[in-house]
Amino acid sequence: DIQMTQSPSSLSASVGDRVTITCRASQSISSYLNWYQQKPGKAPKLLIYAASSLQSGVPSRFSGSGSGTDFTLTISSLQPEDFATYYCQQSYSTPRITFGQGTRLEIK
């Protein structure tokens, strides 16, 4: 199985901050990488697919980059509604997808 490792596991930031979350795959996955946001008690919501494509309806302050084994999710200016847990997910070995362990983004 392809292992996905996110860093950091948790992060404290303030409204207006620029935040970057990284995700590393245990092998090359080309650009088969999605990013999700999950709030407590809710289902995950797709933010970015194919490493850098913004899902319809997602604010442009979210962006993704990377290919191969190293990927990043950037939030350019944190808004109050962005405090949540973020997961990367590889679809290279679809349908046997795997997720990172999550990054909890908290208010400083």
Residue selected from 13, 17, 22, 44 as contacting another protein according to rule CB under 8 A: 44
Minimum distance of another protein from residue 66's CB (angstroms): 17
The CA distances from residue 107 to 2, 23, 58, 78, in Å, are: 31, 21, 21, 10
Structural contact between residues 37 and 84, judged by C-beta atoms closer than 8 angstroms: yes
Q: Taking CB under 8 A as the rule, does residue 76 contact another protein? A: no
With CB under 8 A as the rule, give the number of residues binding another protein.
23
Q: Taking CB under 8 A as the rule, does residue 89 contact another protein? A: yes
Q: Taking CB under 8 A as the rule, does residue 7 contact another protein? A: no
Q: Which is nearer to another protein, 36 or 62 (CB)?
A: 36
Q: 10 Å Cβ neighbour count for 52?
A: 16
Q: Taking CB under 8 A as the rule, does residue 97 contact another protein? A: yes
Q: Taking CB under 8 A as the rule, does residue 64 contact another protein? A: no
Structural contact between residues 90 and 98, judged by C-beta atoms closer than 8 angstroms: yes
